[in-house]
Chain A
Amino acid sequence: MKNKVLMGLAAIAMVAFLSSCGKVPQAQIDATNAAITAAQTAEAAVYVPAEFAAVQDSMKVIMADIEVQKSKLFKKFGPAALKLDATLAAANKVAADAAAKKVEVKKEVETLMTEIKTVIEENTALMKKAPKGKEGAAALEAFKADMVTIEATVAEAQGLYDKGTYMDALNKVKAAKEKAVGINTDLKAAIAKVKGATPAKKK
């Protein structure tokens, strides 16, 4: 009789053990979600969009896995917990990568800002030396208008930089530099052309 009772208890214990093997790794879920939020705050979607999307995707897969396990009679959260650990690490890396990329873009903007200011100064000096022939005068008027726009664009880029939106600032300053360099080339070519020509004899 004693044996029968023991066997019965053993069977019940086994069923109970098998059916409740593992709990939802809530702490890891919370930690991973927090890491993803931190990555989002670090503007991962702007600076490392593909990596950030991959992390978000992994989290979705894990959450679905957890629900799959919850749907089962015998739950097994071990693999999900392992995946959560990996995703947490990945989210932290994405946040770090985003921060690094942001610093990189910031430096690029700073470099371009310095470069464009030099080009603007050079262009201002070149304009004084530029030929003022019939077409030169009108072209100079157009260059002057372009220079005003370039300076306004640089100011806009500076505003974006001050706000911390470095990617937008980068695109603006790139366009401004392209234009400024174009004017610089045109002015240098015009001056060289005049230098090459025989000067007019004046009384």
Chain B
Amino acid sequence: MRNIWRNGLIFTAVVVSIPLILLLLIRFTPKPPIVEMDYAREILSMAEKNKADIYSKRLYTAGKIYYDSAMIAWRRENMRFLYLRDYEKVLMYAELSAKTANQAGDNSVSSASNLKIKLKEKIDNLHDLESQINGQFTTYPLTSEIRNRISKGKMLLSEAEIAYKNGLYLQANRKITDAEYLLTASYDNATENLKNYFKSYSIWKNWVDKTINESKKNRDYSIIIDKFSRKCYIYHDGIKKYEFEAELGKNWVGDKRVSGDMATPEGMYKITKKFDSNKTKYYKALLLDYPNDEDKEKFKSEIARGTLPAYAKIGGLIEIHGNGGKGIDWTEGCIALTDNEMDKVFKIAKVGMPVTIVGSMVDLQYVENR
């Protein structure tokens, strides 16, 4: 009986002591930073969702490195004897990771949002610039280099817009920067070119006024050619009677300087000869007194200054003729009209009639604002 009691007591002691020992073992086991690691991972994941890996790369990478360091430290501690483990380093790295990732996430949201706003603004501005270029340089012969740069800029702007719509703001930003450079530089270049072209506007205006006044005074016809708008105007008694499309020399920008430069001259000229169909290959023609004294003077001074070679020859045989209507500037410096219009001009034209050729009848401001 006593044995039964003793055995029972021993059994109870063993049964009770085992959970007690286990409880004590668990109680004194160092606690791993589970909550902190979970938190760090969640913050890191949230930062990635907010594209911190793109918009706050440095901070995000640091956060990731801290998290990986925490995992390495955790693994290292887990390899040690249960009661000798110390998770302090793991905790430190986890906290650093959470803090850095949090900052990366916030930075990313703000950077992406700022970039998005900035990009939208830039896209709108570049579209405005594109419209300005299209508006101002429709009829102006830009060099093929400038035209190609403008086209490339417009294409990059389109690519940037696609990237922007897909939320790829950094890619969009890179393309916009390139587009902005190309379009702005081309616009500045073309504008500078245009400003140079209009430098002589006051002189042109003076010539135009004189020509119109002369027409009024003589109650006769005068012809004015506006190179920039490609127009041939016929005035009578100081009033504009006709307006025709004109085609010019291939290289019409600027005054004619030398024979073969394909430029249409600028100046106040007179008709010296009328050629009927059988005397010209251009349907009908009106020969002008180019070069006049002023042109000859300018040519001589260019030779003297060395801006033209000594062997250069002054051009001649500048006419208003037919065979026009090609839609391009194709002559070697003459002014071409359609045969139909040439008939009208030929009918009223007579030797000695003033023909004034100017770069433009309107000023640059008007051209820019139209």
Q: B-contacting residues of A (Cβ < 8 Å)? A: 3-4, 7-8, 11, 14-15, 18, 53, 57, 60-61, 63-64, 67-68, 70-73, 131-139, 141-142, 145-146, 148-150, 152-153, 171-172, 174-176, 178-179, 200-203
**Is B18 touching A14 in the complex (CB atoms < 8 A)?**
yes
**Is B151 touching A148 in the complex (CB atoms < 8 A)?**
yes
**Is A64 touching B338 in the complex (CB atoms < 8 A)?**
no
User: Which residues of B sit under 8 angstroms from A148, Cβ to Cβ?
Assistant: 148, 151
**Is B14 touching A176 in the complex (CB atoms < 8 A)?**
no
User: In the complex, what distance in Å separates the CA atom of A131 from the CA atom of B159?
Assistant: 30
User: In the complex, what distance in Å separates the CA atom of A68 from the CA atom of B36?
Assistant: 12
With an 8 A cutoff between CB atoms, is B101 at the interface? no
**Is A71 touching B32 in the complex (CB atoms < 8 A)?**
yes
With an 8 A cutoff between CB atoms, is B22 at the interface? yes
Question: How close is B135's CB to chain A, nearest CB, in angstroms?
Answer: 11
User: In the complex, what distance in Å separates the CA atom of A201 from the CA atom of B142?
Assistant: 32
Known A-B contacts A61-B41, A171-B166; A150 and B327 likewise in contact (beta carbons under 8 Å):
no
User: Which residues of A sit under 8 angstroms from B339, Cβ to Cβ?
Assistant: 202-203
* Complex partner residue of B148 from A4, A145, A201, CB under 8 angstroms: A145
**Is B38 touching A64 in the complex (CB atoms < 8 A)?**
yes
With an 8 A cutoff between CB atoms, is B154 at the interface? yes
**Is A200 touching B340 in the complex (CB atoms < 8 A)?**
yes
**Is A72 touching B41 in the complex (CB atoms < 8 A)?**
no
User: Which residues of A sit under 8 angstroms from B48, Cβ to Cβ?
Assistant: 53
**Is B245 touching A145 in the complex (CB atoms < 8 A)?**
no
With an 8 A cutoff between CB atoms, is B34 at the interface? yes
**Is A7 touching B71 in the complex (CB atoms < 8 A)?**
no
* Complex partner residue of A134 from B32, B134, B161, B230, CB under 8 angstroms: B230
User: In the complex, what distance in Å separates the CA atom of A193 from the CA atom of B329?
Assistant: 22
Closest B residue to A136 using CB positions: B327
**Is A67 touching B75 in the complex (CB atoms < 8 A)?**
yes
**Is B327 touching A131 in the complex (CB atoms < 8 A)?**
yes
Q: List 19 A-B contacts (CB under 8 A).
A: A53-B45, A53-B48, A64-B37, A67-B75, A71-B77, A131-B327, A134-B139, A135-B139, A137-B329, A141-B141, A142-B134, A150-B155, A171-B166, A174-B162, A175-B155, A175-B161, A179-B158, A200-B325, A203-B339
Question: How close is A132's CB to chain B, nearest CB, in angstroms?
Answer: 2
With an 8 A cutoff between CB atoms, is B147 at the interface? yes
User: Which residues of B sit under 8 angstroms from A176, Cβ to Cβ?
Assistant: 155
User: In the complex, what distance in Å separates the CA atom of A61 from the CA atom of B34?
Assistant: 11
**Is B151 touching A67 in the complex (CB atoms < 8 A)?**
no
**Is A57 touching B45 in the complex (CB atoms < 8 A)?**
yes
Question: How close is B256's CB to chain A, nearest CB, in angstroms?
Answer: 21
Known A-B contacts A68-B32, A145-B144; A137 and B327 likewise in contact (beta carbons under 8 Å):
yes
**Is A7 touching B14 in the complex (CB atoms < 8 A)?**
yes
**Is B82 touching A202 in the complex (CB atoms < 8 A)?**
no
User: In the complex, what distance in Å separates the CA atom of A133 from the CA atom of B329?
Assistant: 11
Known A-B contacts A11-B14, A138-B138, A149-B151; A175 and B162 likewise in contact (beta carbons under 8 Å):
yes
List 14 additional A-B contacts (Cβ < 8 Å) besides A57-B45, A138-B138, A171-B166.
Answer: A4-B10, A7-B14, A63-B71, A64-B37, A64-B38, A67-B37, A73-B26, A138-B139, A142-B151, A171-B159, A174-B162, A175-B158, A200-B338, A202-B338
With an 8 A cutoff between CB atoms, is B49 at the interface? yes
Q: How many residues of B contact A (CB 8 A)?
A: 59
User: Which residues of B sit under 8 angstroms from A136, Cβ to Cβ?
Assistant: 327
User: Which residues of A sit under 8 angstroms from B144, Cβ to Cβ?
Assistant: 145
User: Which residues of A sit under 8 angstroms from B326, Cβ to Cβ?
Assistant: 132
Question: How close is A24's CB to chain B, nearest CB, in angstroms?
Answer: 10
Q: A-contacting residues of B (Cβ < 8 Å)? A: 7, 10-11, 14, 18, 21-22, 25-26, 29-30, 32, 34, 37-38, 41, 45, 48-49, 71, 74-75, 77-78, 82, 85, 87, 134, 137-142, 144, 147-148, 150-152, 154-155, 158-159, 161-163, 166, 230, 245, 325-329, 338-340, 343
* Complex partner residue of A146 from B11, B18, B45, B151, CB under 8 angstroms: B151
User: In the complex, what distance in Å separates the CA atom of A185 from the CA atom of B331?
Assistant: 31
**Is A149 touching B26 in the complex (CB atoms < 8 A)?**
no
Question: How close is B103's CB to chain A, nearest CB, in angstroms?
Answer: 20
User: Which residues of A sit under 8 angstroms from B32, Cβ to Cβ?
Assistant: 67-68, 71
Known A-B contacts A61-B41, A139-B138, A203-B343; A172 and B29 likewise in contact (beta carbons under 8 Å):
no
Closest A residue to B77 using CB positions: A71
**Is B340 touching A202 in the complex (CB atoms < 8 A)?**
yes
**Is A70 touching B148 in the complex (CB atoms < 8 A)?**
no
Closest 5 CB pairs of A and B: A132-B327, A71-B32, A149-B151, A145-B147, A175-B158
User: In the complex, what distance in Å separates the CA atom of A125 from the CA atom of B17?
Assistant: 97
User: Which residues of A sit under 8 angstroms from B325, Cβ to Cβ?
Assistant: 200, 202
Closest A residue to B17 using CB positions: A11
Among A8, A53, A68: residue with most chain B CB under 10 A: A68
User: In the complex, what distance in Å separates the CA atom of A102 from the CA atom of B34?
Assistant: 39
Question: How close is A53's CB to chain B, nearest CB, in angstroms?
Answer: 6
**Is B340 touching A203 in the complex (CB atoms < 8 A)?**
yes
User: In the complex, what distance in Å separates the CA atom of A149 from the CA atom of B329?
Assistant: 24
* Complex partner residue of A73 from B18, B29, B45, B162, CB under 8 angstroms: B29
* Complex partner residue of A175 from B11, B49, B159, CB under 8 angstroms: B159
**Is B11 touching A60 in the complex (CB atoms < 8 A)?**
no
Closest B residue to A53 using CB positions: B48
